[in-house]
Amino acid sequence: MARTDRMARMFLVGGGAVYLLLWIYGLVVGI
Per-residue pLDDT of the chain in tens (31 residues, 90 and over written 9):
668 889 999 999 999 999 999 999 999 998 7
**Secondary structure of the chain as H, E, C letters:** CHHHHHHHHHHHHHHHHHHHHHHHHHHHHHC
Global confidence as pTM: 0.57
In whole angstroms, what is the distance from residue 20 CA to residue 17 CA? 5
Predicted local distance difference test score (pLDDT) of residue 11: 93
